[in-house]
Amino acid sequence: ETNTLPFHPFEMQQGDILRMEKEHQVLKEQLKEAQEKYEQLQSRSSEEISVLKEMIKKSVEETKVSKNELDWLNQDLEIKVKKWQQEKKENQENLKAIRNTVKKHMDTNDRYSKTIDEKEKQYNINFNTCLETSNKLANEKVKLEELIKKSQDDYQEHMKRAVKAEISVLKNWKKNEVYKLNAIAANADKNLKMLKSLSSSASALPELKSRIDSWEIFISNIKKQMEKVEVGYEEKIQMVKNGVRNCLTKIEAVDLSSP
């Protein structure tokens, strides 16, 4: 029966002592770990405390420096405040002067605005009048352009007719002058034939030969004059066709005295 029943009063049931010893061992190990952690924390805390002391010492020194800087800043601030007050006073005076100037400018601007409104009304009236006049002028311009075109067409037609008329006149003059020269040449040729028929007879005069030569020269000159007249009139006709004006002048043959 040994170790088969609980050992009173230490055990309520069998195995309590062993379980307690195991728990005691676990607690000892946890206590050891906690002690090691405490020692580590204490060491780290000591280092942090020394660092904080150094920081506090440095902060105290910086505070002293900051106090000196603060005093200097206060003095500088007082100077700047006085300067700012002086500038504020000057700015207020300047602002007052600017307000007066602005008021004057606003009054002037109001006058100018009224003047501009009146000018704009007058401009609109003048613009509308000008627009109406422009439309009228445009319509008149269209009518004038149509009239000009019609006049140009009429002018071209008249010019064509004038050219035809001038050519017709020149041709008639040429025809008349050539006809006159042909008549003179025909009459001279008739006289020449009569003289030649007389020269074939035995009783012909000796001076008849010279008379025949004179008539032949006369007829040759007439033909030259005829050719000159024809060429002159043809040149004038061509000039008229090319647009040259004032070509209506007669070309008359030289007055040749018949033998």
Question: What contacts 24+ positions apart, CB below 8 Å, involve 182-189?
Answer: 182/226, 184/222, 184/256, 184/258, 185/219, 185/222, 185/223, 185/226, 188/215, 188/218, 188/219, 188/222, 188/258, 189/219
Containing structural domain, residue 183: 155-242
Q: Is residue 85 part of a domain?
A: no
Instruction: Confirm if 229 and 253 have CB atoms less than 8 A apart.
Output: yes
> Domain for residue 129, yes or no?
no
Half-sphere exposure of 186 (CA within 13 A, CB side): 6
What is the rounded distance in angstroms from the CA atom of residue 113 to the CA atom of residue 107?
10
> Does residue 23 lie within any of the structural domains?
no
pLDDT for the residue numbered 18 = 80
Rounded (10°) CA dihedral 70, 73, 78, 84:
-140
CA-to-CA distance for 84 and 136, rounded, in angstroms?
71
Q: Is the peptide bond before 6 cis (omega within 30 degrees of 0)?
A: no
Residue 6 maps to a domain: no
Predicted pLDDT of residue 124: 92
Q: Is residue 133 part of a domain?
A: no
How far CA 175 is from CA of 144, 178, 249, in Å, comes to: 45, 5, 14
| Cis previous bond, 9, omega within 30 | yes
Q: Number of structural domains, the chain?
A: 1
Q: Going residue by residue through the chain, which has 259 residues, state the pLDDT in tens, using 9 for 90 and above.
A: 456 666 666 667 767 778 888 889 999 999 999 999 998 988 888 888 888 988 998 888 888 888 888 888 889 999 999 999 999 999 999 999 999 999 999 998 888 989 999 999 999 999 999 999 999 999 999 999 999 999 999 988 888 888 888 889 888 988 888 888 888 889 888 988 888 887 766 455 667 788 888 888 888 888 888 888 889 888 888 888 888 877 778 777 666 677 7
Within a domain: residue 175? yes
Give domain status of residue 140, yes or no: no
Q: What angle do CA 139, 141, 147 make, to 5 degrees?
A: 110
In contact, 207 and 248? CB cutoff 8 Å: no
**What radius of gyration do the chain's Cα atoms show?**
72
Q: Is residue 229 part of a domain?
A: yes
